[in-house]
Amino acid sequence: MERLLVLARHGQSDWNLKNLFTGWKDPGLTPLGVEEARTAGRRLKALGYNFDVAFTSALSRAQTTLELILEELGQTGLTTFTDEALNERDYGDLSGLNKDDARARWGAEQVHIWRRSYDVAPPGGESLKDTVARVLPYYMREILPRVMRGQRVLVSAHGNSLRALVMVLDGLTPQTIPSLELATGIPLVYRLNADTTVKDKRILDT
């Protein structure tokens, strides 16, 4: 049994390009983001991957990335589940602000703490710990059982919602997770053991 799980962060969004905190706001992909998504699909196809089911967030940049990947795979129309549980971390009052402007207002150290600490939330928003608290139960309830039944699962989501999953899959801690960066449009390919631990992991960045 293959037990295949592939995670893909959406391609570059317009607000990524503009260096804005995005969170639950809903900008679309840039032309580069579209190409990143298509490239991800082509890499998966070249390696012979295909999928039985897909999951994505309620935000259009993840949904569009998934659609483009599936187009390249020749799998448009694949059964897909959409849920806010996979949304990006909510940046609260920072959403829509330029990151440099936020540093000027609150100080670089405070903004760094909000961005990279595990359990300190920005005003009105979520910490990574909060994000894990909504992503992980959804993963355990909806995604993992399908993987363990042998379905090949593709998840298109966001930097922080996927960091929450990678934290669990890779056995990272609140001390080590802040240094993890996930590039846009680069699939992470996991195969799981029968006990749900990771058998092997591959990053499709070349």
Domain ranges of the chain: 4-90+128-203
The predicted pLDDT at position 179 comes to 84
Supply the pLDDT for residue 94.
95
CATH architecture, range 4-90+128-203: 3-Layer(aba) Sandwich (3.40)
Average pLDDT, rounded, for the chain: 96
Average pLDDT over residues 68-84: 98
Q: What is the pLDDT of residue 58?
A: 98
Which whole number is the average pLDDT over 86-115?
Answer: 95
Work out the average pLDDT over 41-49: 97
pLDDT confidence of residue 178: 81
User: What average pLDDT score do residues 27-52 get?
Assistant: 97
**Could you report how far apart the first and last alpha carbons of the chain are, in Å?**
27
Q: How far is CA 181 from CA 81, 92, 116, 167, 178, in A?
A: 25, 21, 10, 11, 8
pLDDT at 1: 83
User: What pLDDT sits at residue 72?
Assistant: 98
Residues with a known catalytic role = 10, 88
8 Å CB contact between 163 and 10: no
